[in-house]
Structure 1
Protein backbone atom coordinates (compact mmCIF):
# COMPACT_ATOMS: atom_id res chain seq x y z
CA UNK A 1 0.00 0.00 0.00
CA UNK A 2 1.23 3.46 -0.85
CA UNK A 3 1.22 6.24 1.71
CA UNK A 4 -0.49 9.49 0.75
CA UNK A 5 2.79 11.40 0.71
CA UNK A 6 4.12 9.22 -2.10
CA UNK A 7 1.64 10.08 -4.84
CA UNK A 8 2.46 13.70 -5.62
CA UNK A 9 5.04 15.01 -8.06
CA UNK A 10 7.82 17.47 -7.43
CA UNK A 11 6.27 19.80 -9.98
CA UNK A 12 3.72 20.90 -7.40
CA UNK A 13 6.52 22.57 -5.44
CA UNK A 14 7.18 25.17 -8.12
CA UNK A 15 4.23 27.27 -6.96
CA UNK A 16 5.67 27.71 -3.46
CA UNK A 17 6.81 31.30 -2.87
CA UNK A 18 7.48 33.67 0.02
CA UNK A 19 5.03 31.72 2.19
CA UNK A 20 7.82 29.21 2.75
CA UNK A 21 9.54 31.71 5.05
CA UNK A 22 6.98 30.81 7.70
CA UNK A 23 6.62 27.13 7.01
CA UNK A 24 7.27 24.32 9.44
CA UNK A 25 5.81 21.78 7.01
CA UNK A 26 8.11 20.83 4.14
CA UNK A 27 7.42 22.06 0.58
CA UNK A 28 6.19 18.55 -0.29
CA UNK A 29 3.72 18.55 2.59
CA UNK A 30 2.42 22.03 1.76
CA UNK A 31 1.92 21.03 -1.87
CA UNK A 32 -0.14 18.04 -0.73
CA UNK A 33 -2.51 19.83 1.63
CA UNK A 34 -5.45 20.18 -0.76
CA UNK A 35 -5.16 16.50 -1.64
CA UNK A 36 -4.90 15.62 2.05
CA UNK A 37 -8.12 17.52 2.75
CA UNK A 38 -9.87 15.60 -0.03
CA UNK A 39 -8.48 12.34 1.33
CA UNK A 40 -9.78 13.14 4.82
CA UNK A 41 -13.22 13.85 3.41
CA UNK A 42 -13.57 10.85 1.11
CA UNK A 43 -11.32 8.00 2.25
CA UNK A 44 -12.83 4.90 3.82
CA UNK A 45 -12.37 4.39 7.54
CA UNK A 46 -10.54 1.06 7.76
CA UNK A 47 -10.35 0.87 11.53
CA UNK A 48 -10.19 3.06 14.61
CA UNK A 49 -8.74 3.07 18.10
CA UNK A 50 -9.29 5.41 21.06
CA UNK A 51 -6.38 7.62 21.98
CA UNK A 52 -5.41 7.62 25.63
CA UNK A 53 -4.03 11.15 25.59
CA UNK A 54 -6.14 14.28 25.87
CA UNK A 55 -9.26 15.21 27.79
CA UNK A 56 -11.34 15.38 24.61
CA UNK A 57 -11.36 11.57 24.09
CA UNK A 58 -10.16 11.54 20.48
CA UNK A 59 -9.85 8.56 18.15
CA UNK A 60 -7.11 7.61 15.75
CA UNK A 61 -8.62 6.61 12.42
CA UNK A 62 -6.87 4.56 9.76
CA UNK A 63 -8.03 5.64 6.30
CA UNK A 64 -7.72 4.16 2.84
CA UNK A 65 -8.67 5.09 -0.70
CA UNK A 66 -7.48 3.74 -4.05
CA UNK A 67 -4.54 1.89 -2.57
CA UNK A 68 -3.46 4.92 -0.55
CA UNK A 69 -3.45 4.80 3.24
CA UNK A 70 -3.22 7.52 5.86
CA UNK A 71 -3.95 8.24 9.50
CA UNK A 72 -5.97 10.95 11.19
CA UNK A 73 -7.25 12.09 14.57
CA UNK A 74 -11.01 12.52 15.03
CA UNK A 75 -12.41 14.56 17.89
CA UNK A 76 -15.71 16.21 18.70
CA UNK A 77 -15.46 18.09 22.00
CA UNK A 78 -18.18 20.65 22.64
CA UNK A 79 -19.55 22.56 25.58
CA UNK A 80 -17.65 23.12 28.81
CA UNK A 81 -15.15 20.49 29.96
CA UNK A 82 -12.93 20.88 33.01
CA UNK A 83 -13.78 24.57 33.13
CA UNK A 84 -12.90 25.24 29.48
CA UNK A 85 -15.21 25.93 26.56
CA UNK A 86 -14.51 23.32 23.87
CA UNK A 87 -15.41 23.32 20.19
CA UNK A 88 -14.31 20.81 17.56
CA UNK A 89 -15.10 23.36 14.84
CA UNK A 90 -12.20 25.47 16.12
CA UNK A 91 -9.79 22.81 14.85
CA UNK A 92 -11.09 23.46 11.34
CA UNK A 93 -11.04 27.23 11.79
CA UNK A 94 -7.42 27.09 12.96
CA UNK A 95 -6.33 25.16 9.88
CA UNK A 96 -8.20 27.45 7.50
CA UNK A 97 -6.80 30.58 9.12
CA UNK A 98 -3.34 29.00 9.02
CA UNK A 99 -3.76 28.63 5.26
CA UNK A 100 -4.98 32.21 4.90
CA UNK A 101 -1.91 33.52 6.72
CA UNK A 102 0.53 31.12 5.06
CA UNK A 103 1.63 29.97 8.51
CA UNK A 104 1.95 26.30 7.51
CA UNK A 105 2.19 24.94 11.04
CA UNK A 106 -1.29 23.41 11.47
CA UNK A 107 -2.21 19.99 10.00
CA UNK A 108 -5.17 19.78 7.59
CA UNK A 109 -8.56 19.45 9.28
CA UNK A 110 -12.05 18.88 7.89
CA UNK A 111 -15.54 18.21 9.21
CA UNK A 112 -16.50 14.53 9.07
CA UNK A 113 -18.95 12.20 10.80
CA UNK A 114 -17.74 9.22 12.80
CA UNK A 115 -19.98 6.85 14.74
CA UNK A 116 -22.94 9.01 13.76
CA UNK A 117 -21.49 12.22 15.21
CA UNK A 118 -20.03 15.31 13.58
CA UNK A 119 -16.49 16.22 14.47
CA UNK A 120 -13.11 17.40 13.23
CA UNK A 121 -10.90 14.95 11.34
CA UNK A 122 -7.28 16.09 11.48
CA UNK A 123 -4.45 14.69 9.39
CA UNK A 124 -1.97 12.83 11.55
CA UNK A 125 1.10 14.98 12.14
CA UNK A 126 4.27 12.94 11.75
CA UNK A 127 6.60 13.88 14.60
CA UNK A 128 9.36 12.56 16.82
CA UNK A 129 8.99 14.53 20.04
CA UNK A 130 6.48 16.60 21.93
CA UNK A 131 7.81 19.61 23.80
CA UNK A 132 6.78 17.75 26.97
CA UNK A 133 9.08 14.86 26.07
CA UNK A 134 11.93 17.25 25.27
CA UNK A 135 11.59 18.93 28.66
CA UNK A 136 10.97 15.83 30.77
CA UNK A 137 13.76 13.78 29.20
CA UNK A 138 16.20 16.66 28.92
CA UNK A 139 16.58 16.16 25.18
CA UNK A 140 19.09 18.66 23.83
CA UNK A 141 18.10 20.73 20.83
CA UNK A 142 21.04 20.70 18.38
CA UNK A 143 23.00 23.94 18.10
CA UNK A 144 22.04 24.38 14.45
CA UNK A 145 18.32 24.15 15.34
CA UNK A 146 18.21 26.45 18.38
CA UNK A 147 17.57 29.68 16.48
CA UNK A 148 14.89 28.03 14.33
CA UNK A 149 13.05 26.57 17.31
CA UNK A 150 13.23 29.87 19.20
CA UNK A 151 11.72 31.72 16.24
CA UNK A 152 9.00 29.07 15.94
CA UNK A 153 8.24 29.48 19.65
CA UNK A 154 7.79 33.24 19.31
CA UNK A 155 5.69 32.81 16.18
CA UNK A 156 3.49 30.33 18.05
CA UNK A 157 2.92 32.87 20.81
CA UNK A 158 1.86 35.50 18.29
CA UNK A 159 -0.44 32.98 16.58
CA UNK A 160 -2.02 31.90 19.86
CA UNK A 161 -2.47 35.55 20.78
CA UNK A 162 -4.30 36.24 17.52
CA UNK A 163 -6.69 33.30 17.95
CA UNK A 164 -6.96 33.47 21.76
CA UNK A 165 -5.83 29.89 22.26
CA UNK A 166 -5.85 29.31 26.00
CA UNK A 167 -4.67 25.70 25.85
CA UNK A 168 -1.16 25.75 24.41
CA UNK A 169 0.64 23.08 26.40
CA UNK A 170 3.88 21.16 26.08
CA UNK A 171 1.86 18.18 24.83
CA UNK A 172 0.48 19.94 21.77
CA UNK A 173 3.73 21.43 20.51
CA UNK A 174 5.39 18.78 18.34
CA UNK A 175 8.84 18.54 16.80
CA UNK A 176 9.84 16.57 13.75
CA UNK A 177 13.14 14.70 13.62
CA UNK A 178 14.76 17.73 11.96
CA UNK A 179 13.28 20.09 14.61
CA UNK A 180 10.44 21.69 12.69
CA UNK A 181 7.53 22.66 14.93
CA UNK A 182 3.94 21.50 14.35
CA UNK A 183 0.99 22.78 16.36
CA UNK A 184 -2.05 20.67 17.24
CA UNK A 185 -5.12 20.93 19.49
CA UNK A 186 -7.03 24.17 18.93
CA UNK A 187 -10.42 23.21 20.38
CA UNK A 188 -9.99 25.83 23.13
CA UNK A 189 -9.21 28.74 20.84
CA UNK A 190 -11.14 31.63 19.26
CA UNK A 191 -12.46 33.09 22.49
CA UNK A 192 -14.72 36.12 22.08
CA UNK A 193 -15.46 37.34 25.62
CA UNK A 194 -14.16 40.70 26.82
CA UNK A 195 -11.30 39.03 28.69
CA UNK A 196 -9.91 37.83 25.37
CA UNK A 197 -10.54 40.93 23.26
CA UNK A 198 -8.91 43.49 25.54
CA UNK A 199 -5.66 41.57 26.09
CA UNK A 200 -3.55 39.07 24.22
CA UNK A 201 -2.75 35.59 25.43
CA UNK A 202 0.97 36.42 25.34
CA UNK A 203 3.00 39.63 25.18
CA UNK A 204 3.75 42.47 27.56
CA UNK A 205 0.26 42.50 29.05
CA UNK A 206 -0.43 38.88 28.27
CA UNK A 207 -2.96 36.77 30.11
CA UNK A 208 -0.43 33.96 30.44
CA UNK A 209 2.76 34.61 32.40
CA UNK A 210 5.60 32.53 33.79
CA UNK A 211 5.59 31.09 37.30
CA UNK A 212 7.56 34.16 38.36
CA UNK A 213 4.92 36.44 36.88
CA UNK A 214 7.06 37.47 33.93
CA UNK A 215 5.45 37.95 30.50
CA UNK A 216 6.04 35.47 27.71
CA UNK A 217 7.02 37.64 24.76
CA UNK A 218 7.14 37.16 21.00
CA UNK A 219 10.58 38.70 20.55
CA UNK A 220 11.08 38.28 16.80
CA UNK A 221 8.57 37.60 14.03
CA UNK A 222 8.63 37.07 10.25
CA UNK A 223 7.87 40.20 8.24
CA UNK A 224 5.61 38.16 5.98
CA UNK A 225 3.50 37.05 8.96
CA UNK A 226 3.10 40.62 10.22
CA UNK A 227 2.18 41.87 6.74
CA UNK A 228 -0.41 39.09 6.41
CA UNK A 229 -1.90 40.05 9.78
CA UNK A 230 -2.27 43.64 8.58
CA UNK A 231 -4.39 42.54 5.61
CA UNK A 232 -6.95 40.60 7.67
CA UNK A 233 -10.52 41.82 7.31
CA UNK A 234 -13.85 40.41 8.41
CA UNK A 235 -14.62 39.44 4.82
CA UNK A 236 -11.28 37.68 4.29
CA UNK A 237 -11.61 35.65 7.47
CA UNK A 238 -15.27 34.82 6.84
CA UNK A 239 -14.46 33.58 3.35
CA UNK A 240 -11.66 31.40 4.71
CA UNK A 241 -13.32 29.84 7.76
CA UNK A 242 -16.94 29.69 6.57
CA UNK A 243 -19.30 28.44 9.27
CA UNK A 244 -16.48 27.23 11.53
CA UNK A 245 -16.57 30.58 13.35
CA UNK A 246 -19.43 32.83 14.41
CA UNK A 247 -19.38 36.49 13.44
CA UNK A 248 -18.54 37.56 16.99
CA UNK A 249 -15.55 35.22 16.99
CA UNK A 250 -14.26 36.77 13.77
CA UNK A 251 -14.71 40.26 15.22
CA UNK A 252 -12.74 39.13 18.28
CA UNK A 253 -9.85 38.10 16.00
CA UNK A 254 -9.85 41.58 14.49
CA UNK A 255 -9.82 43.20 17.93
CA UNK A 256 -6.79 41.13 18.89
CA UNK A 257 -5.18 41.87 15.53
CA UNK A 258 -5.11 45.56 16.41
CA UNK A 259 -3.59 44.91 19.85
CA UNK A 260 -1.00 42.55 18.37
CA UNK A 261 0.04 45.05 15.70
CA UNK A 262 0.25 47.83 18.29
CA UNK A 263 2.64 45.77 20.40
CA UNK A 264 4.77 44.85 17.40
CA UNK A 265 4.92 48.51 16.34
CA UNK A 266 6.04 49.47 19.86
CA UNK A 267 8.76 46.81 19.76
CA UNK A 268 9.98 48.18 16.42
CA UNK A 269 10.08 51.75 17.75
CA UNK A 270 12.07 50.66 20.79
CA UNK A 271 14.46 48.17 19.20
CA UNK A 272 14.53 48.94 15.49
CA UNK A 273 12.83 47.00 12.72
CA UNK A 274 15.70 44.64 11.97
CA UNK A 275 15.90 43.58 15.62
CA UNK A 276 12.22 42.57 15.63
CA UNK A 277 11.34 41.48 12.10
CA UNK A 278 13.16 39.05 9.84
Structure 2
Protein backbone atom coordinates (compact mmCIF):
# COMPACT_ATOMS: atom_id res chain seq x y z
CA UNK A 1 0.00 0.00 0.00
CA UNK A 2 1.43 3.32 -1.06
CA UNK A 3 1.67 5.99 1.65
CA UNK A 4 0.08 9.25 0.60
CA UNK A 5 2.16 12.41 1.15
CA UNK A 6 0.67 15.34 3.07
CA UNK A 7 1.17 18.77 1.47
CA UNK A 8 -1.82 21.14 1.24
CA UNK A 9 -5.58 21.25 1.80
CA UNK A 10 -8.44 22.27 -0.45
CA UNK A 11 -9.80 25.74 0.19
CA UNK A 12 -12.83 27.51 -1.27
CA UNK A 13 -15.51 29.97 -0.36
CA UNK A 14 -19.01 30.42 -1.72
CA UNK A 15 -22.39 31.80 -0.71
CA UNK A 16 -24.01 28.36 -0.29
CA UNK A 17 -22.43 25.42 1.56
CA UNK A 18 -23.10 23.08 -1.37
CA UNK A 19 -21.41 25.37 -3.90
CA UNK A 20 -17.87 25.18 -2.56
CA UNK A 21 -16.11 22.33 -4.35
CA UNK A 22 -13.94 23.22 -7.36
CA UNK A 23 -15.87 22.89 -10.64
CA UNK A 24 -15.35 20.09 -13.14
CA UNK A 25 -13.13 20.99 -16.09
CA UNK A 26 -14.95 22.56 -19.02
CA UNK A 27 -13.99 23.06 -22.63
CA UNK A 28 -14.86 26.34 -24.29
CA UNK A 29 -14.30 27.23 -27.95
CA UNK A 30 -11.25 29.48 -28.14
CA UNK A 31 -10.60 32.21 -30.67
CA UNK A 32 -7.30 31.88 -32.50
CA UNK A 33 -4.63 33.89 -30.74
CA UNK A 34 -6.85 34.62 -27.75
CA UNK A 35 -6.30 33.33 -24.25
CA UNK A 36 -8.56 30.50 -23.18
CA UNK A 37 -11.50 31.72 -21.08
CA UNK A 38 -11.51 30.91 -17.41
CA UNK A 39 -13.63 27.88 -16.51
CA UNK A 40 -16.97 28.69 -14.89
CA UNK A 41 -17.21 28.61 -11.13
CA UNK A 42 -19.45 26.08 -9.47
CA UNK A 43 -22.05 28.79 -8.86
CA UNK A 44 -21.95 29.70 -12.57
CA UNK A 45 -22.34 26.06 -13.50
CA UNK A 46 -25.38 25.72 -11.24
CA UNK A 47 -26.89 28.90 -12.69
CA UNK A 48 -26.36 27.52 -16.19
CA UNK A 49 -28.05 24.25 -15.23
CA UNK A 50 -31.05 26.14 -13.84
CA UNK A 51 -31.48 28.75 -16.57
CA UNK A 52 -29.96 27.67 -19.90
CA UNK A 53 -32.24 26.82 -22.81
CA UNK A 54 -32.52 23.34 -24.25
CA UNK A 55 -30.95 22.86 -27.69
CA UNK A 56 -31.32 19.11 -28.19
CA UNK A 57 -31.83 15.92 -26.19
CA UNK A 58 -30.63 12.38 -26.85
CA UNK A 59 -30.48 9.23 -24.78
CA UNK A 60 -27.40 7.80 -23.12
CA UNK A 61 -26.41 4.27 -24.08
CA UNK A 62 -24.89 3.21 -20.78
CA UNK A 63 -26.81 2.85 -17.54
CA UNK A 64 -30.30 1.72 -16.65
CA UNK A 65 -31.73 4.74 -14.85
CA UNK A 66 -33.20 6.55 -17.86
CA UNK A 67 -30.52 9.22 -18.15
CA UNK A 68 -30.77 11.73 -20.99
CA UNK A 69 -27.91 13.75 -22.43
CA UNK A 70 -28.89 17.26 -23.48
CA UNK A 71 -27.11 20.19 -25.05
CA UNK A 72 -28.04 23.55 -23.53
CA UNK A 73 -27.10 27.17 -24.15
CA UNK A 74 -27.48 30.42 -22.23
CA UNK A 75 -26.49 32.56 -25.21
CA UNK A 76 -22.88 32.78 -24.08
CA UNK A 77 -21.96 29.22 -23.23
CA UNK A 78 -23.08 25.94 -24.78
CA UNK A 79 -22.59 22.81 -22.75
CA UNK A 80 -23.98 19.32 -22.26
CA UNK A 81 -25.89 18.20 -19.19
CA UNK A 82 -27.15 14.89 -17.85
CA UNK A 83 -30.87 14.74 -17.04
CA UNK A 84 -32.33 12.10 -14.75
CA UNK A 85 -36.00 12.01 -13.75
CA UNK A 86 -36.21 8.51 -12.28
CA UNK A 87 -38.45 8.19 -9.21
CA UNK A 88 -39.16 4.57 -8.35
CA UNK A 89 -39.92 2.76 -5.10
CA UNK A 90 -40.28 -1.03 -4.86
CA UNK A 91 -40.17 -3.75 -2.25
CA UNK A 92 -37.78 -6.69 -2.11
CA UNK A 93 -35.60 -5.85 -5.12
CA UNK A 94 -32.60 -7.98 -5.99
CA UNK A 95 -29.45 -5.95 -6.69
CA UNK A 96 -25.79 -6.82 -7.19
CA UNK A 97 -25.08 -6.54 -3.45
CA UNK A 98 -28.17 -8.52 -2.43
CA UNK A 99 -31.86 -7.87 -1.77
CA UNK A 100 -33.28 -4.49 -0.75
CA UNK A 101 -36.55 -4.59 1.14
CA UNK A 102 -37.26 -0.89 0.55
CA UNK A 103 -35.66 -0.04 -2.79
CA UNK A 104 -35.57 3.58 -3.96
CA UNK A 105 -34.20 4.97 -7.22
CA UNK A 106 -34.65 8.73 -7.07
CA UNK A 107 -33.34 11.66 -9.09
CA UNK A 108 -33.25 13.87 -5.99
CA UNK A 109 -30.42 11.82 -4.52
CA UNK A 110 -28.21 13.14 -7.33
CA UNK A 111 -28.81 16.72 -6.20
CA UNK A 112 -28.30 15.77 -2.55
CA UNK A 113 -25.04 13.95 -3.34
CA UNK A 114 -23.67 16.90 -5.32
CA UNK A 115 -24.52 19.34 -2.53
CA UNK A 116 -23.09 17.09 0.16
CA UNK A 117 -19.90 16.55 -1.85
CA UNK A 118 -19.42 20.32 -2.03
CA UNK A 119 -20.19 20.75 1.68
CA UNK A 120 -17.32 18.42 2.58
CA UNK A 121 -14.98 19.93 -0.08
CA UNK A 122 -14.78 16.77 -2.20
CA UNK A 123 -13.89 17.88 -5.76
CA UNK A 124 -15.04 14.66 -7.45
CA UNK A 125 -18.81 15.15 -7.82
CA UNK A 126 -20.11 17.50 -10.55
CA UNK A 127 -22.86 19.98 -9.61
CA UNK A 128 -26.50 18.98 -9.98
CA UNK A 129 -29.70 21.03 -9.61
CA UNK A 130 -33.44 20.47 -9.63
CA UNK A 131 -35.35 21.48 -12.76
CA UNK A 132 -38.41 20.35 -14.71
CA UNK A 133 -37.96 18.05 -17.70
CA UNK A 134 -40.99 17.39 -19.89
CA UNK A 135 -43.26 18.18 -16.99
CA UNK A 136 -41.47 16.09 -14.36
CA UNK A 137 -39.02 17.12 -11.65
CA UNK A 138 -35.49 16.01 -12.56
CA UNK A 139 -31.82 16.36 -11.72
CA UNK A 140 -29.76 18.37 -14.21
CA UNK A 141 -26.08 17.48 -13.75
CA UNK A 142 -23.06 19.16 -15.34
CA UNK A 143 -21.63 16.91 -18.05
CA UNK A 144 -17.98 16.18 -17.27
CA UNK A 145 -15.71 17.33 -20.08
CA UNK A 146 -12.69 15.66 -21.58
CA UNK A 147 -13.67 12.17 -20.45
CA UNK A 148 -11.02 9.71 -21.53
CA UNK A 149 -12.93 6.59 -20.50
CA UNK A 150 -14.82 5.08 -17.63
CA UNK A 151 -13.43 2.53 -15.21
CA UNK A 152 -15.04 -0.31 -17.13
CA UNK A 153 -13.14 0.62 -20.29
CA UNK A 154 -9.90 1.13 -18.37
CA UNK A 155 -10.06 -2.37 -16.97
CA UNK A 156 -11.10 -3.83 -20.29
CA UNK A 157 -8.05 -2.24 -21.91
CA UNK A 158 -5.78 -3.30 -18.99
CA UNK A 159 -4.60 0.30 -18.83
CA UNK A 160 -2.69 1.24 -15.66
CA UNK A 161 -3.01 4.78 -14.32
CA UNK A 162 0.03 6.97 -15.05
CA UNK A 163 0.45 7.75 -11.35
CA UNK A 164 -0.63 5.04 -8.94
CA UNK A 165 -0.37 7.28 -5.86
CA UNK A 166 -2.80 9.85 -7.28
CA UNK A 167 -5.11 7.10 -8.50
CA UNK A 168 -5.16 5.40 -5.12
CA UNK A 169 -5.84 8.74 -3.42
CA UNK A 170 -8.97 9.24 -5.50
CA UNK A 171 -10.05 5.64 -4.90
CA UNK A 172 -9.79 6.19 -1.14
CA UNK A 173 -12.07 9.20 -1.36
CA UNK A 174 -14.59 7.36 -3.50
CA UNK A 175 -14.83 4.72 -0.77
CA UNK A 176 -15.28 7.39 1.90
CA UNK A 177 -17.99 9.21 -0.07
CA UNK A 178 -19.89 6.05 -0.96
CA UNK A 179 -19.94 5.02 2.69
CA UNK A 180 -21.13 8.48 3.71
CA UNK A 181 -24.04 8.50 1.25
CA UNK A 182 -24.75 4.75 1.55
CA UNK A 183 -24.40 4.29 -2.20
CA UNK A 184 -25.48 0.80 -3.27
CA UNK A 185 -24.81 1.31 -6.98
CA UNK A 186 -21.19 2.32 -7.45
CA UNK A 187 -20.15 0.54 -10.62
CA UNK A 188 -17.40 0.92 -13.19
CA UNK A 189 -19.71 2.76 -15.59
CA UNK A 190 -20.28 5.69 -13.24
CA UNK A 191 -16.61 6.22 -12.48
CA UNK A 192 -15.41 8.64 -15.18
CA UNK A 193 -11.74 9.34 -15.88
CA UNK A 194 -10.84 12.57 -17.65
CA UNK A 195 -7.74 13.28 -19.72
CA UNK A 196 -5.88 14.46 -16.61
CA UNK A 197 -6.72 11.16 -14.92
CA UNK A 198 -9.03 12.82 -12.44
CA UNK A 199 -11.81 10.57 -11.23
CA UNK A 200 -15.40 11.83 -11.38
CA UNK A 201 -18.28 10.19 -9.52
CA UNK A 202 -21.71 10.34 -11.17
CA UNK A 203 -25.19 8.79 -10.89
CA UNK A 204 -26.11 8.67 -7.21
CA UNK A 205 -29.82 7.95 -7.60
CA UNK A 206 -29.50 4.77 -5.51
CA UNK A 207 -27.89 6.29 -2.45
CA UNK A 208 -28.88 7.58 0.99
CA UNK A 209 -30.08 4.30 2.40
CA UNK A 210 -31.11 4.31 6.05
CA UNK A 211 -28.41 1.97 7.37
CA UNK A 212 -26.68 3.64 10.31
CA UNK A 213 -23.50 1.54 10.10
CA UNK A 214 -20.74 1.43 7.50
CA UNK A 215 -20.77 -1.48 5.10
CA UNK A 216 -17.02 -2.09 5.04
CA UNK A 217 -15.17 0.10 7.56
CA UNK A 218 -12.00 -2.00 7.42
CA UNK A 219 -11.52 -0.91 3.79
CA UNK A 220 -11.31 2.74 4.87
CA UNK A 221 -7.62 3.45 5.43
CA UNK A 222 -7.10 7.04 4.25
CA UNK A 223 -9.06 10.30 4.04
CA UNK A 224 -8.37 13.76 2.73
CA UNK A 225 -7.67 16.07 5.66
CA UNK A 226 -10.04 18.82 4.49
CA UNK A 227 -12.86 16.32 4.00
CA UNK A 228 -12.20 14.88 7.46
CA UNK A 229 -12.44 18.37 8.96
CA UNK A 230 -15.61 19.21 7.03
CA UNK A 231 -17.27 15.96 8.06
CA UNK A 232 -16.99 17.03 11.67
CA UNK A 233 -18.74 20.34 10.99
CA UNK A 234 -21.90 18.76 9.57
CA UNK A 235 -24.95 19.23 11.77
CA UNK A 236 -28.53 18.15 11.45
CA UNK A 237 -29.50 21.79 10.90
CA UNK A 238 -26.97 22.31 8.09
CA UNK A 239 -27.95 19.05 6.40
CA UNK A 240 -31.64 19.86 6.71
CA UNK A 241 -31.08 23.24 5.09
CA UNK A 242 -29.00 21.89 2.21
CA UNK A 243 -30.56 18.46 1.63
CA UNK A 244 -33.96 18.59 3.31
CA UNK A 245 -35.81 19.01 0.02
CA UNK A 246 -34.50 15.61 -1.13
CA UNK A 247 -33.91 13.53 2.01
CA UNK A 248 -36.32 12.42 4.72
CA UNK A 249 -35.59 12.95 8.39
CA UNK A 250 -34.71 9.27 8.70
CA UNK A 251 -32.26 9.53 5.82
CA UNK A 252 -30.57 12.57 7.38
CA UNK A 253 -30.37 10.83 10.77
CA UNK A 254 -28.76 7.77 9.15
CA UNK A 255 -26.35 10.03 7.26
CA UNK A 256 -25.22 11.64 10.51
CA UNK A 257 -24.66 8.25 12.13
CA UNK A 258 -22.52 7.13 9.20
CA UNK A 259 -20.64 10.43 9.46
CA UNK A 260 -19.99 9.70 13.13
CA UNK A 261 -18.68 6.24 12.22
CA UNK A 262 -16.36 7.69 9.56
CA UNK A 263 -14.96 10.29 11.95
CA UNK A 264 -14.43 7.62 14.60
CA UNK A 265 -12.69 5.37 12.08
CA UNK A 266 -10.14 7.95 10.93
CA UNK A 267 -9.64 9.30 14.43
CA UNK A 268 -8.70 5.80 15.53
CA UNK A 269 -6.31 5.39 12.59
CA UNK A 270 -4.52 8.60 13.55
CA UNK A 271 -2.81 11.43 11.62
CA UNK A 272 -1.04 9.05 9.22
CA UNK A 273 -4.42 8.17 7.72
CA UNK A 274 -4.91 11.76 6.52
CA UNK A 275 -3.55 13.26 3.31
CA UNK A 276 -4.18 16.18 0.94
CA UNK A 277 -6.03 14.96 -2.15
CA UNK A 278 -5.71 18.03 -4.35
CA UNK A 279 -1.99 18.32 -3.73
CA UNK A 280 -1.42 14.68 -4.63
CA UNK A 281 -3.49 14.92 -7.82
CA UNK A 282 -1.93 18.20 -8.94
CA UNK A 283 1.57 16.93 -8.36
CA UNK A 284 0.78 13.84 -10.43
CA UNK A 285 -0.37 16.06 -13.32
CA UNK A 286 2.98 17.85 -13.59
CA UNK A 287 5.17 16.86 -16.55
CA UNK A 288 7.78 14.37 -15.35
CA UNK A 289 11.44 15.31 -15.34
CA UNK A 290 13.55 13.88 -18.13
CA UNK A 291 15.44 11.66 -15.71
CA UNK A 292 12.36 10.42 -13.89
CA UNK A 293 11.61 6.73 -14.11
CA UNK A 294 8.15 5.70 -15.36
CA UNK A 295 5.61 5.03 -12.60
CA UNK A 296 5.36 1.42 -11.53
CA UNK A 297 2.60 -0.63 -9.98
CA UNK A 298 -0.85 -1.86 -10.87
CA UNK A 299 -4.20 -0.14 -10.47
Q: Same fold (TM over 0.5)?
A: yes
TM-score by length of 2: 0.74
Change in Cα spacing, 1:74 to 1:165, as seen in structure 2 (3 Å) is same
Change in Cα spacing, 1:76 to 1:255, as seen in structure 2 (3 Å) is same
Does the 8 Å CA contact 1:167/1:188 hold for their aligned counterparts? yes
1:24-39 correspondence to structure 2 within 5 Å: 25=24, 32-39=41-48
Deviations 1:10-43 (A, max 9, x none): xxxxxxx7337x86946965x6111111111111
Deviations 1:89-117 (A, max 9, x none): 00000111111111121111111111111
- Asked if 1:19 corresponds to 2:11, the answer is yes
CA shift, 1:203, in A, is 1.9
- Asked if 1:107 corresponds to 2:142, the answer is no
| Secondary structure at 2:217 match in 1 | coil
Change in Cα spacing, 1:74 to 1:25, as seen in structure 2 (3 Å) is closer
Q: Matched residue pairs, number?
A: 237
Inter-partner Cα distance in structure 1 for 2:25 and 2:45 = 14
Q: 2:292 aligns to what? A: none
Does the 8 Å CA contact 1:160/1:201 hold for their aligned counterparts? no
Inter-partner Cα distance in structure 2 for 1:122 and 1:111 = 9
Does the 8 Å CA contact 2:106/2:206 hold for their aligned counterparts? yes
Unaligned runs of 5+ in 2: 1-8, 13-20, 27-37, 95-102, 276-299
Please provide the CA RMSD for this pair: 2.0
Inter-partner Cα distance in structure 2 for 1:74 and 1:57 = 9
Deviations 1:30-72 (A, max 9, x none): x611111111111111110111211111111110111421100
The equivalent position to 1:240 in structure 2, one of 239, 242, 245, is 242
Q: 1:7 aligns to what? A: none
Q: 1:189 aligns to what? A: 207
Inter-partner Cα distance in structure 2 for 1:76 and 1:119 = 4
Does the 8 Å CA contact 2:60/2:69 hold for their aligned counterparts? yes
Change in Cα spacing, 1:255 to 1:162, as seen in structure 2 (3 Å) is same
Q: 2:155 aligns to what? A: 135
The equivalent position to 2:274 in structure 1, one of 271, 274, 277, is 277
Q: 1:202 aligns to what? A: 216
Change in Cα spacing, 1:26 to 1:62, as seen in structure 2 (3 Å) is closer
Deviations 1:126-183 (A, max 9, x none): 21111111111111211xx210110110111011111101111111111111111110
Q: 1:178 aligns to what? A: 196
Inter-partner Cα distance in structure 2 for 1:132 and 1:46 = 30
| Secondary structure at 2:255 match in 1 | helix
TM-score by length of 1: 0.80
1:1-278 correspondence to structure 2 within 5 Å: 18-19=10-11, 25=24, 32-80=41-89, 83=94, 84-126=103-145, 127-142=147-162, 145-192=163-210, 196-197=211-212, 199-204=213-218, 217-268=219-270, 273-274=271-272, 276-278=273-275
Change in Cα spacing, 1:52 to 1:18, as seen in structure 2 (3 Å) is closer
| Secondary structure at 1:128 match in 2 | strand
Kindly indicate which of the two structures has a greater share of residues assigned to helix: 1
Unaligned runs of 5+ in 1: 1-16, 205-216
Higher relative contact order (CA 8 A, sep 6+): 2
Does the 8 Å CA contact 1:48/1:61 hold for their aligned counterparts? yes
